[in-house]
Structure 1
Amino acid sequence: MSISLYQVSVPVFIKFLGNLSHILDKAATFASEKKIEQSVLLETRLYPNMFTFGRQLQRVTDHATSYSARLAGLPPPAFDISLTSIADYQALIKASIDFLSGIEAGQIDGQESREISIPRGTEVRIVQGQQHLLNNILPNFYFHLTAAYAILRNIGVEVGKQDFLGKS
């Protein structure tokens, strides 16, 4: 049995963004209980040259939505959301899930060889749909998701493997 490009992307992104929203709820509770300013939490990082917690969250949503949009032949979404609080990041996650929920399998399936143009500064990188998903997007999506999770674990937020994986 084969699986489709849509099945290994959009529903996976939606599921893990939902899990991230749940984890973010736990982070908000932790910040409140420990009397930690949300801005401090959002600026926390594992190492000086790594992205902050807030930036990790942005990258997770960016990888999911931009890839899915480009593969479906749509422009990547630009969410007009100020990102200064946990509620703002929750709004970004919700907007990302809403955007992804509007993409249908027929827009993505069959696009494995589709050439996608990705602007990189003054250059444009051309990649193929399936190869880009498997070798770049999914690894980056999970990398930033894991880094965000690790930042919270590192400061003492009680999240575990089930929070990361969610319910099947």
Structure 2
Amino acid sequence: MPKQDLQANLNVFETRLASLERILDKAKTELLSSTYLEADLLSARLAADMLPFPYQIIFTCNQPNQLMAWLKDESLPDPEIDPAAASFEELVNHLQKTRQDLTETRKTAEQTLLDRDKLIQLPNDLSFTLSGHDYVSEWLMPNFYFHFVTTYDILRAEGLGIGKADYMQHLMPVIVAQQART
């Protein structure tokens, strides 16, 4: 696999979480300010065998949080919130804290930190090892996008008026800059 640029990956996490935060703000304004109940959103899921909405937000944040912990040779701390009991506001706060932590990590993270191996432990005593670069590209990023898109899909299924432009908000600065030049 190609080598990953650490700063670029931290930026991807931060900018996509910023897009997700804007989507959640829209959900608060459009869904939760109407007759739609917060409890309905917090229990919403795409399929019976999938975890509900709060887990998707927390698992989206877990990917950059796992990377940041690994970069510091720390274990990922237990989540500050219980997904089964989290409020919408607590989920937003968790996302915002993850973004703040990414901003701080970007100041000190060194590319050479990816030149280590990462042991991935799975349920049922399964494990495997990836290079640091593969850990980011083959484990963290796919999991990040899976849970981000699942969050997006749940909100769409629950009636939130969002589209691809909301999902792709990270490109707005590029679009605005290019439009200003023309």
Flag whether TM exceeds 0.5 (same fold).
Answer: yes
CA separation of 1:108 and 1:43: change in aligned 2, threshold 3 A: farther
Q: Is 1:57–1:148's contact at 8 Å kept on the other side of the alignment?
A: yes
- Give the counterpart of 1:152 among 155, 167, 172: 155
User: 2-side partners of 1:13 and 1:33: how far apart?
Assistant: 29
For the residues of structure 2 that align with 1:99 and 1:147, how far apart are their CA atoms? 23
* Other-structure match for 2:132: 129
Q: Which residue of 1 aligns with 2:40?
A: 40
Aligned twin of 1:89: 91
Greater shift, 102-111 or 44-53, is seen at 102-111
2: CA distance between counterparts of 1:104 and 1:19? 18
Answering whether residue 164 of structure 2 is matched by residue 161 of structure 1, we say: yes
Aligned position for 1:76: 76
Give structure 1 regions of 4+ aligned residues with deviation exceeding 3 angstroms: 117-126
Q: Report what 1:66 is aligned to.
A: 66
Q: CA deviation at 1:37?
A: 1.7
**Structure having the larger proportion of residues in helix:** 2
Between the aligned partners of 2:70 and 2:49, the Cα distance in structure 1 is 30
Q: Say how many residue pairs are matched.
A: 167
CA distance in 1, matches of 2:76, 2:97: 13
Query: What is the percentage of aligned positions where both structures have the same residue?
Result: 25
Structure 2: give runs of 5+ residues left out of the alignment: 174-182
Following the alignment from structure 2 to structure 1, what is the Cα–Cα distance between the partners of residues 142 and 4? 18
Alpha carbons 1:118, 1:125 under 8 Å: kept: yes
Bigger Cα Rg: 2
- Tell me the TM-score normalised to structure 2 length: 0.80
- When the two structures are superposed, what TM-score results if normalisation uses the length of structure 1? 0.86
Question: Which of 98, 108, 111 lines up with 1:109 in the alignment?
Answer: 111
SS at match of 1:7: helix
1:77 and 1:25 map into 2 onto residues whose CA distance is: 27
CA distance in structure 1 between the partners assigned to 2:143 and 2:32 by the alignment = 30
Q: Secondary structure of the equivalent of 2:59?
A: helix
Provide the residue aligned with 2:179 in structure 1.
Answer: none
| Distance (whole Å) between structure 2 residues aligned to residue 31 and residue 154 of structure 1 | 12
* Distance apart, 1:79 and its partner CA: 4.5
Q: Does 1:8 align with 2:8?
A: yes
Q: Could you tell which deviates more after superposition, 114-123 or 30-39?
A: 114-123
What SS class does the counterpart of residue 109 from structure 2 fall into?
Answer: helix
